[in-house]
Amino acid sequence: MTGVVVHAGGWGDGGWGWAMWLAMTIGMTAMLVTLLAIVWLIVRAVGPPREGGRSREDRALEELRVRYARGEISGESPTSDAGRCSRTSVVAPAEPDRAQAYDAWYETALGAAAHRIELRLVAALAAPGRGERALDAGCGTGIYTAWLLEQGLEVTGLDPDPAMLSAARVKVPEARLVEGDATMLPFAEGEFDLAVAVTLFCFLDGEERLVAARELLRVVRPGGRVVVGELARRSLWAAQRRVRGWRGSRTWRQAHFATAGELRQLFHNAGATAVSARYGLYLPPWDVTSFVSRAEAIERLGRPLGALGAAFVAARAEAGGGAAGATARV
């Protein structure tokens, strides 16, 4: 009995202190482990899906390298920095064939779903009319050039990257394709009814963006419109691309992620009479069937969130005294 009292007294003096210390140590260790697990999960989540320790993009890039070494594909300027074009890390400027890699991404289930959603947004704002004259600035391999042609427009594509233009020539031989820079457009004032630029501004710096916006407004007629589609800032796609930038991708380190407000301001500063913008692409950046097959439902669920979670933002700017068209405001 006495022993029990002595034992209890022992806990009361030094024992409780030890118990508290032990509990705190265990608690803090658990918190630290949980924190590390959360960080690891976030890094896994924003990173590309991995199989066998290598991402799909790494494997796609490796395949391209092997094919390039075998002479099966060619890049006109494999080490040039001309393009600054990338949706995925496969398409870094120094890749053997930027154009082929760029188009290959659109053939993935995720790329196709994302493109469908982006194109719908651009189409709603551009409202292309048969017989109109359109410029596709930063046309790349001609994806939007081809779409504008299908809508019955007379289309000019412009890009500074010869490799991208070569691919566009194969895809859209009917289009007029011009090597040039959006900050110095080789076109007369009012030459077009519509100018489209999809994921071009994200690869320009701040001053270039303003100059390019002015140039696009200059080459569309009064009452014409400029429609841009850009990478939006507050999404998992942007987070993933920023992580790639931190991990060494020059393209993503330099890329600019936009907001609707910023695009409105940019085009107002460039002289537009009215600017409207919309967000879209709430689909997460994972090529996982359960997400991709529900892309449309995810889009409907995401829409009320506006900027939050949207990976794409499109804007329409009205040029010089034109009436505002049927566009929606954010």
Q: Is 166 in the site for ligand SAM (CB under 6 A)?
A: no
Q: Is 93 in the site for ligand SAM (CB under 6 A)?
A: no
Write down the least CB distance from residue 144 to ligand SAM, Å. 5
x-or-dash string of contact with ligand SAM, 130-159, rule CB under 6 A: -------xxxx--xx--------------x
Q: Is 199 in the site for ligand SAM (CB under 6 A)?
A: yes
DSSP state of 203: G
Complex with ligand SAM: residue 166 or 183, whichever CB lies closer: 183
Do residues 98 and 163 make contact, with C-beta atoms less than 8 angstroms apart?
A: yes
> DSSP per residue over 4-50, as a string?
HHHHHHHIIIIIHHHHHHHHHHHHHHHHHHHHHHHHHHHHHHHSPPE
Do residues 202 and 171 make contact, with C-beta atoms less than 8 angstroms apart?
A: no
Write down the least CB distance from residue 278 to ligand SAM, Å. 17
Query: Interface with ligand SAM by CB under 6 A: which range of 49-57, 178-186, 240-248, 308-316?
Result: 178-186
Tell me which residue of 165, 163, 221 sits closest to 192, measured CA to CA: 221
- The rounded distance, in Å, linking the Cα atoms of 14 and 199 is 67
Element (H, E) at 181: none
Number of amino acids touching ligand SAM (CB under 6 A): 22
Can you tell me which of 78, 160, 162, 306 binds ligand SAM, judged by CB under 6 A?
Answer: 160
Q: Is 164 in the site for ligand SAM (CB under 6 A)?
A: yes
DSSP state of 305: G
Do residues 98 and 85 make contact, with C-beta atoms less than 8 angstroms apart?
A: yes
Write down the least CB distance from residue 95 to ligand SAM, Å. 13
Q: Which residue is nearest to ligand SAM (CB)?
A: 140
Tokens matching residue 6: 């002595």
Q: Is 117 in the site for ligand SAM (CB under 6 A)?
A: no
Q: Is 181 in the site for ligand SAM (CB under 6 A)?
A: yes
- The rounded distance, in Å, linking the Cα atoms of 31 and 295 is 36
**Distant-in-sequence, close-in-space partners of 80: CB < 8 Å, separation ≥ 6:** 93, 161, 163
x-or-dash string of contact with ligand SAM, 211-250, rule CB under 6 A: ----------------------------------------
Interface positions with ligand SAM (CB under 6 A): 83-85, 87, 137-140, 143-144, 159-161, 164, 181-183, 198-200, 203-204
